[in-house]
């Protein structure tokens, strides 16, 4: 036994070659570097190697083929002699692309290792995230994705529609693949496997007391953008304003304002926070609540003046190339311009970790300010309410079962909708519980 050889945080012995060498090399690269010596027993006894050249080739191939990202530039190996016996000394420097991991295990505790005293142990999830954060400089989109088993079917389709190529060379230039040849979080956000979601909900009335509809969207951000926009468009009712011989159709929400707010919610979101983007549609407004407040040093006044401070510049660049964004810093101005001439305006609320934009329903506020009477518009508030009003313009009365069939809704939903329209002064009811019927307010008294 040679007492001067004692294992420590930066020194470990292995009697012979085994796959376990990979874990120790990874641990050194993820911590403070170190040396791994083959041919010495755990207690410091020199036993030597019979085929050191073959062993060195095995080690080199194993480290090159199984450890991600490429670790070989931080590895040195030499064959030496000690007490007349052959040994291999593997020197490992701390890497610059931590965490290093066993490729088929992924960036998870079972694939990532660190040194803890004289032992090699699995890294905790918090330690892994800390390594990723330190390597990326705290920018989420450039950090290495924890999930490397991802696909891009939806994104490839989107790029194809724009006649753009989405090969590996483009993925690298766009920041989807990092310098270490692994997928970044930006790649994860654009992948079919992305779990950063948008939740959409429709509520009855002006509070969150009663749900009418809800849905959650995951997967590629590009597909989420399309799907959410088209769903909002479905609920964005149109009101007809008639003046003399001419009719003007006005949507509840300006399409350009919806587009800009939705793009803002996706491009500027803080994806390091797992909270979903929440879109809530009420009778009188639509709210977009996004994780992440303004960038440090930027005020709301700066944003309103057109200052562009990008949290996710690589994501913004992709949206720009896809012609989804025309110019940086113009979104808020476009939103406000869509409400010029109206007494009601979009509102913005900020907290330490959230950003909320609320768009007022143009037709709702025009209805209750009396403007619709001047323009000859019936008091249509939502798509469903508009359908009921149109029905009662053709007939004197309706009943609950007829509404259920017309709207294809449940009994409870029909009852709540009719009650809500009575409270708003649109409908009035007649008869008793067994023969209850409804008419437009002011008719058939």
pLDDT tens profile 61-97: 999 999 998 899 889 999 999 989 999 999 999 887 8
Task: For residues 219 and 185, state if they share a domain.
Answer: no
For residue 1, what pLDDT band results from cuts at 50, 70 and 90? very low
Q: Do 393 and 328 fall into the same domain?
A: no
Separation of alpha carbons 180 and 169, rounded Å: 14
Q: How far is CA 304 from the centre of its chain?
A: 25
| Alpha-carbon gap, residue 164 to 369, rounded angstroms | 49
* 30, 95 Cβ separation under 8 angstroms: yes
d(CA 346, CA 361): 10
Structure tokens at 264: 């803002």
Beta strands in 21-171 (DSSP E): 34-38, 67-68, 75-82, 85-92, 101-102, 113-116, 119-122
| 370 part of a folded domain | no
337's CB contacts (< 8 A; 6+ apart) are none
The length of the chain in residues reads: 445
Cβ–Cβ under 8 Å, residues 124 and 77: no
**Count of structural domains, the chain:** 4
Q: How far apart are CA 381 and CA 252, in angstroms?
A: 9
* Predicted confidence (pLDDT) at residue 13 exceeds the cutoff of 60: yes
Whether residues 202 and 174 share a domain: the answer is no
Of 160, 189, 218, the residue that ends a domain is 189
Q: Mark whether 59 and 113 lie in a shared domain.
A: yes
pLDDT band at residue 226 using 50, 70 and 90 as cut-offs: very high
Indicate whether 183 and 264 sit together in one domain: no
Report d(CA 149, CA 39) in Å as an integer: 37
On whether residue 373 sits in a domain, the answer given is no
Query: For position 53, which CATH number holds?
Result: 3.30.950.30
pLDDT in tens, 25-34: 999 999 989 9
Over pLDDT 90: what percentage of the chain?
49
Per-residue CA distances from 287 to 129, 268, 384, 389 (Å): 32, 16, 20, 26
DSSP conformation class of 142: G
171 and 247 together in one domain: no
- 185 plus 217 within the same structural domain: no
Residue 377 has pLDDT above 50, yes or no: no
Domain carrying residue 342: 198-309+321-365
Indicate whether this model's pTM tops 0.85.
no
Q: Tell whether the model's pLDDT for residue 296 goes beyond 90.
A: no
Q: Do both 17 and 118 map to the same domain?
A: yes
């Amino acid at each position: 036994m040679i007492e001067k050889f004692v294992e420590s945080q930066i020194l470990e012995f292995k009697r012979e070659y085994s796959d376990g060498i990979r874990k120790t090399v990874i641990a050194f690269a993820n911590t403070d570097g170190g040396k791994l010596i083959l041919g010495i027993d755990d207690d410091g006894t020199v036993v030597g190697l019979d085929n050191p050249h073959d062993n060195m080739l095995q080690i080199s191939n194993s480290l090159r083929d199984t450890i991600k990202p490429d670790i070989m530039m931080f590895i040195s190996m030499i064959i030496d002699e000690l007490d007349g016996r052959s040994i291999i000394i593997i020197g490992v420097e701390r890497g610059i692309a931590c965490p290093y991991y066993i490729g088929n295990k992924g960036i998870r505790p079972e694939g990532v290792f660190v040194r803890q005293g004289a032992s090699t142990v699995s890294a905790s999830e918090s330690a892994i995230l800390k390594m990723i954060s330190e390597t990326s400089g705290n920018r989420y989109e450039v950090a290495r994705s924890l999930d490397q088993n991802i696909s891009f079917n939806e994104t490839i389709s989107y790029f194809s529609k724009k006649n753009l190529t989405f090969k590996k060379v483009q993925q690298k230039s766009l920041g989807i693949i990092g310098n270490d040849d692994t997928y970044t979080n930006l790649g994860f956000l654009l992948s079919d496997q992305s779990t950063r979601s948008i939740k959409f909900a429709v509520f009855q009335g002006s509070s969150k007391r009663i749900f009418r509809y809800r849905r959650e969207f995951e997967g590629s951000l590009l597909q989420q953008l399309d799907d959410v926009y088209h769903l909002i468009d479905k609920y964005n009712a149109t009101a007809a304003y008639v003046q003399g011989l001419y009719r003007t159709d006005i949507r509840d929400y300006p399409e350009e304002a919806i587009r800009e707010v939705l793009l803002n919610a996706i491009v500027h979101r803080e994806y390091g926070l797992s909270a979903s983007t929440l879109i809530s549609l009420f009778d009188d407004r639509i709210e977009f609540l996004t994780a992440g407040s303004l960038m440090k040093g930027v005020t709301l006044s700066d944003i309103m003046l057109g200052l562009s401070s990008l949290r996710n510049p690589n994501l913004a660049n992709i949206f720009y190339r896809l012609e989804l964004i025309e110019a940086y810093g113009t979104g808020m101005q476009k939103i406000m311009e869509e409400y010029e001439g109206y007494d009601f305006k979009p509102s913005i609320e900020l907290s330490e970790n959230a950003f909320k934009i609320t768009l007022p329903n143009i037709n709702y506020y025009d209805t209750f300010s009396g403007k619709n009477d001047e323009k000859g518009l019936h008091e249509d508030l939502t798509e469903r309410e508009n359908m009921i009003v149109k029905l009662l313009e053709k007939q004197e009365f309706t009943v609950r079962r007829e509404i259920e069939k017309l709207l294809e809704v449940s009994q409870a939903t029909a009852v709540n909708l009719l009650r809500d329209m009575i409270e708003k002064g649109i409908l009035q009811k007649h008869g008793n519980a067994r023969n209850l019927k409804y008419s437009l307010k002011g008719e058939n008294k």
